[in-house]
């Protein structure tokens, strides 16, 4: 399995090159983006983040100070904005109360402890928690998303009905635990899923993994 996973990575990297993820100007922006990207595309998240920046509100204290209505209006482009405003504030209260809104203090904690804490925050699921851990806190954890499951189920590596943990375990056991590798691998899978491995009418004939 290790050789197969590494081979897939090599082929995708050769086809697409480095993806330079996560697209953000700060670690805090990564966290906000990870929460807002639930059930929407990245273009919508970029608009929401830009709105926060334009109002000079992209920091923990200022977002917490916004009313739910005002915050919802600023992030409206991300969809489900009332729910996401609540989830964002839930995280920021945890971030303030547990880590004094300090990324460095949070980074100093272990992966195991941080993941457990994040999953206790209302509205933070496994994919969001792991995105925060990998992309904002540089912790070696593999992010599983819909693209990952779709691609690897079509290649017979995971079952269509496998759980998040079952899929993640394949990568965590099969690859060297590397922040750089996990970061790039997940980004490449997103690229493949967006451009080729569509849910409907996938472009299998053009896929970089076709016939291999």
Cα(55)–Cα(195) distance, integer angstroms: 33
Same domain for 14 and 34, yes or no, is no
Find out whether the peptide bond into 143 is cis, omega within 30 degrees of 0. no
Per-residue model confidence (pLDDT) at position 2: 86
The total number of structural domains that make up the chain: 2
Give yes or no for a contact between 54 and 64, defined as CB atoms under 8 angstroms apart.
no
Q: Compute φ and ψ for 208, nearest 5 degrees.
A: -60, -20
Cα(87)–Cα(179) distance, integer angstroms: 26
Per-residue model confidence (pLDDT) at position 212: 53
Cβ atoms within 10 Å of 181's Cβ, excluding its own:
17
In a domain, 211, yes or no: no
Give yes or no for a contact between 88 and 128, defined as CB atoms under 8 angstroms apart.
no
Same domain for 121 and 159, yes or no, is no
Same domain for 64 and 91, yes or no, is yes
Same domain for 181 and 88, yes or no, is no
Q: Where are the alpha helices (DSSP H) in the chain?
A: 2-16, 27-36, 42-54, 60-65, 68-74, 81-99, 103-107, 111-119, 126-131, 146-154, 164-174, 179-195
Find out whether the peptide bond into 22 is cis, omega within 30 degrees of 0. yes
Residues of the chain with pLDDT under 50: none
Same domain for 112 and 11, yes or no, is no
Same domain for 49 and 87, yes or no, is yes
Output the pTM of the full model. 0.95
Assign residue 11 the CATH number of its domain.
1.10.1670.10
Cα(91)–Cα(63) distance, integer angstroms: 11
Same domain for 70 and 93, yes or no, is yes
What does the chain come to in residues?
Answer: 212
Question: Which of 101, 120, 136 is the endpoint of a domain?
Answer: 136
Same domain for 71 and 130, yes or no, is yes
Structural domain boundaries enclosing 85: 27-136
| Per-residue model confidence as pLDDT tens digits over 83-116 | 999 999 999 999 999 999 999 999 999 999 999 9
Same domain for 108 and 47, yes or no, is yes
Assign residue 129 the CATH number of its domain.
1.10.340.30
Give yes or no for a contact between 44 and 13, defined as CB atoms under 8 angstroms apart.
no
Same domain for 9 and 40, yes or no, is no
Cα(118)–Cα(115) distance, integer angstroms: 5
Give yes or no for a contact between 142 and 174, defined as CB atoms under 8 angstroms apart.
no
In a domain, 170, yes or no: yes
Question: Which of 136, 153, 188 is the endpoint of a domain?
Answer: 136
Question: Which of 136, 171, 193 is the endpoint of a domain?
Answer: 136
In a domain, 212, yes or no: no
Same domain for 106 and 83, yes or no, is yes
């Amino acid at each position: 399995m290790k050789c197969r996973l590494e081979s897939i990575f090599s082929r995708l990297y050769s086809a697409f090159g480095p993806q330079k993820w996560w697209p953000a100007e700060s670690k805090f922006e990564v966290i906000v983006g990870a929460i807002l990207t639930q059930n929407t595309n990245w273009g919508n998240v970029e608009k929401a983040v830009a709105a926060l920046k334009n109002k000079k509100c992209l920091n923990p204290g200022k977002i917490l100070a916004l009313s739910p209505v005002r915050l919802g209006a600023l992030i409206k482009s991300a969809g489900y904005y009332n729910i996401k405003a609540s989830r964002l504030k839930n995280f920021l209260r945890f971030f303030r109360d547990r880590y004094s809104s300090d990324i460095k203090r949070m980074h100093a904690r272990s992966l195991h402890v941080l993941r457990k804490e994040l999953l206790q925050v209302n509205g933070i699921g496994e994919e969001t928690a792991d995105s925060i851990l990998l992309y904002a806190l540089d912790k070696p954890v593999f992010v599983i998303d819909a693209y990952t499951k779709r691609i690897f189920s079509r290649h017979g590596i995971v079952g269509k009905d496998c759980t998040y943990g079952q899929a993640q375990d394949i990568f965590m056991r099969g690859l060297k635990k590397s922040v750089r590798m996990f970061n790039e691998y997940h980004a490449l899978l997103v690229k493949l899923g967006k451009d080729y491995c569509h849910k409907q009418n996938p472009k299998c004939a053009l896929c970089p993994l076709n016939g291999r």
